[in-house]
Amino acid sequence: MRTRGSRARSPGSEEGSATAEFVMVGALLTVLTLGVMQLGLALLVRNTVLDAAAEGARYAALADSGLGEGAARTRELITMSIGPAYATDVEASYGDYGGFPSVQIRVVAPLPLLALFGVDRGLEVVGHAAVETLR
């Protein structure tokens, strides 16, 4: 004898599967969205550090400037844009790039893998600029 409101379920019934599917698909989409956002953040950090290195190299390549000023400018730009943890390893040197004397600013910074935390020294970029002379 069945009571009112109760139903007999068959063994192959798909009742309740919509909820489980929603949870699984929602979790998958959330993970994919967060992964794309993290990739975007890593690219933003890389491009920002690379742009700061290039700007520091251009500053150091000016006729009335030097390597110390270029490295300091790079550190300042990175600190203002991302934070001081990304501006700890900045090196400036003279070199040759494309057959011309140039200034090279090398920056080694953390690579963000989870928010802004990640692999220490995982990102290395070099900015170049041709040296100006007063001749």
**Over the stretch 23-53, which tens digit does the pLDDT of each residue have?**
999 999 999 999 999 999 999 999 999 999 9
CA distance linking residue 49 with residue 43, whole number of Å: 10
List the chain domain ranges. 18-130
Residue type, 37: M
**Which residues sit opposite 127 in a β-bridge?**
105
68: left (phi over 0), alpha (psi -120 to 50) or beta: alpha
E strands, 1-135, in order? 89-97, 100-114, 117-130
Other beta carbons less than 10 A from residue 103's beta carbon = 27
**Over the stretch 67-122, which tens digit does the pLDDT of each residue have?**
999 999 999 999 999 999 999 999 999 999 988 899 999 999 999 998 888 899 99
